[in-house]
């Protein structure tokens, strides 16, 4: 019979809105610029007009309402973009700390930070109900909000066991 080593249970929490929403809005603002949207709409209209003329010349008996079809497709694309934008702003990322390291999952994006990648890790309780975890890697710094219900002593002990660069900042 093999002896098994019990791994500690995963710690996880949903990142608080005060932590992830400002960044999600900034990212949406970088992607959804009015000038970019106008250029995409203009190029799409030119392509559809060219296709409509080409199809009309090649198949004069074909009846298709190109304007109505284009309008519905534009509405569908803008609707999908609005839904994805709303999801990124209103659905919080999930943070997991397990024996492999720290993971952050937002939608279909999953980032795992293994102990060798992390150069700096600090846990600071800013107010009674707000704590942040600052993580520095070669790609830059990231600040992750910690849920108020999380036991910070347990989290600090787990992170200290995983990351040699971890430190807890005590504030008065």
- Same domain for 77 and 30: yes
- Same domain for 99 and 158: yes
- Same domain for 128 and 72: no
- Same domain for 49 and 116: no
Q: For 56-96, write each residue's pLDDT tens digit.
A: 899 988 888 988 999 999 999 989 989 988 999 999 999 99
Query: Is 112 domain-assigned?
Result: yes
pLDDT band at 171 (very low <50, low <70, confident <90, very high): confident
Coil/strand/helix, residue 142: strand
Query: Is 5 domain-assigned?
Result: no
Question: Considering 31, 64, 89, which residue would you say is the last residue of a domain?
Answer: 89
Concatenated DSSP letters of 136-151: EETTEEEEEEE-TTS-
Coil/strand/helix, residue 95: strand
Query: Is 1 domain-assigned?
Result: no
The Cβ of residue 100 has, within 10 Å, a number of other Cβ atoms equal to 14
Closest CA to 142 of 11, 18, 19: 19
Concatenated DSSP letters of 37-76: HHHHHHHHHHHHHHHHHHHHHH-TT----HHHHHHHHHHH
Query: Is 117 domain-assigned?
Result: yes
> Could you tell me which residues come within 8 angstroms of residue 117 by beta carbon, excluding any fewer than 6 positions away?
137, 138
Question: Which structure tokens are listed for 62?
Answer: 């074909």
pLDDT band at 104 (very low <50, low <70, confident <90, very high): very high
Give the CATH number of the domain where residue 137 resides. Answer: 2.30.29.30
Residue 122 is predicted with a pLDDT of 96
Question: Considering 46, 69, 89, which residue would you say is the last residue of a domain?
Answer: 89
Q: How many structural domains compose the chain?
A: 2
- For residue 125, the enclosing domain spans 11-15+92-169
Instruction: Quote the CA–CA distance of 78 and 32 in Å, as a whole number.
Output: 11
- Same domain for 126 and 80: no
H or E element in which residue 8 lies? none
Q: Is the pLDDT of residue 111 over 60?
A: yes
- Same domain for 115 and 78: no
| Residue percentage of the chain with pLDDT more than 90 | 62
pTM (2 decimals)? 0.74
Query: Is 4 domain-assigned?
Result: no
Closest CA to 15 of 103, 121, 139: 103
Question: Considering 31, 57, 89, which residue would you say is the last residue of a domain?
Answer: 89
Residue for token digits 């009846």?
A: 63
Q: For 9-22, write each residue's pLDDT tens digit.
A: 789 999 999 999 99
Instruction: Quote the CA–CA distance of 31 and 140 in Å, as a whole number.
Output: 21
Q: How much is the average pLDDT of 46-65?
A: 90
The Cβ of residue 65 has, within 10 Å, a number of other Cβ atoms equal to 10
């Amino acid at each position: 019979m093999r002896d098994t080593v019990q791994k500690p249970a995963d710690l996880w929490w949903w990142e608080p809105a005060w932590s992830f929403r400002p960044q999600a809005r900034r990212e949406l603002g970088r992607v959804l610029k009015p000038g970019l949207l106008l250029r995409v709409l203009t190029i799409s209209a030119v392509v559809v007009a060219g296709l409509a003329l080409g199809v009309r010349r090649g198949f004069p008996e074909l009846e298709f309402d190109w304007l109505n079809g284009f309008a519905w497709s534009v509405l569908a694309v803008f609707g999908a973009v609005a839904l994805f934008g709303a999801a990124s702003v209103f659905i919080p990322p999930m943070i997991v700390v397990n024996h492999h390291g720290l993971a952050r999952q937002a939608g279909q994006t999953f980032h795992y930070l293994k102990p060798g990648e992390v150069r700096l890790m600090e846990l600071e309780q800013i107010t009674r109900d707000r704590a942040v975890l600052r993580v520095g890697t070669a790609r830059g710094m990231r600040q992750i909000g910690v849920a108020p219900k999380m036991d910070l002593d347990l989290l600090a002990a787990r992170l200290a066991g995983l990351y040699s660069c971890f430190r807890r900042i005590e504030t008065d």
